[in-house]
């Protein structure tokens, strides 16, 4: 066995069977939480609320119903998103021991061959 080198097994970053099965099932369902949230942004008003909008003027009750409908759907999608979409990690660029990053730029002079 080579020391310090991985010679077999699963490659780094490869998902295990349970994780890959879960993501496959989500993909086959056709709608991920991100897709759902985007659909909310593009969604039409539900038919029952659309009928109320057409029949009556915008009332406080109707506006509250529309707000509630949007809020409930969005909260559901937001709650499900971490199970599918990994959260990006913040990265900070700093120098040694957390100090400022020092960049040294070296410019090489154009040295043409002398005659």
Which residues, 6 or more positions from 111, have their beta carbon under 8 angstroms from its beta carbon?
none
Instruction: Please give the average per-residue pLDDT across 31-55, as a whole number.
Output: 76
44-61 confidence digits (pLDDT tens): 777 777 787 777 777 778
Domain assignment of residue 110, yes or no: no
Domain ranges, residue 42: 17-87
At 1 the pLDDT is: 55
* Number of domains into which the chain is organized: 1
Domain assignment of residue 23, yes or no: yes
Domain assignment of residue 3, yes or no: no
Q: Identify the helix (H) or strand (E) that includes residue 52.
A: helix 47-55
Domain assignment of residue 99, yes or no: no
How many C-beta atoms lie closer than 10 Å to residue 77's C-beta?
Answer: 19
Residue 2 has pLDDT above 70, yes or no: no
pLDDT band at 5 (very low <50, low <70, confident <90, very high): confident
Residue 108 has pLDDT above 70, yes or no: yes
What is the tally of helices (H) and strands (E) in the chain? Answer: 4, 0
Instruction: Please give the average per-residue pLDDT across 88-107, as a whole number.
Output: 84
Q: Identify the helix (H) or strand (E) that includes residue 27.
A: helix 17-29
Domain assignment of residue 92, yes or no: no
Q: Does the pTM of the predicted model rise above 0.75?
A: no
Domain assignment of residue 102, yes or no: no
Residue 21 has pLDDT above 60, yes or no: yes
Average model confidence (pLDDT) for the chain?
Answer: 78
Domain assignment of residue 113, yes or no: no
């Amino acid at each position: 066995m080579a020391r310090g080198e991985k010679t077999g097994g699963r490659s780094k970053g490869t998902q295990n069977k349970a994780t890959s099965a879960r993501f496959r099932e989500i993909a086959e369902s056709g709608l991920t939480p991100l897709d759902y949230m985007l659909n909310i942004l593009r969604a039409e008003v539900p038919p029952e609320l659309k009928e109320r909008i057409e029949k009556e003027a915008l009332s406080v009750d109707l506006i509250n119903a529309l707000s509630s409908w949007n809020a409930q759907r969005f909260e559901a999608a937001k709650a499900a998103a971490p199970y599918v979409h990994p959260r990006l990690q913040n990265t900070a660029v700093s120098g040694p021991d957390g100090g400022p990053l020092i960049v040294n730029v070296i410019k090489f002079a154009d040295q043409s061959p002398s005659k």
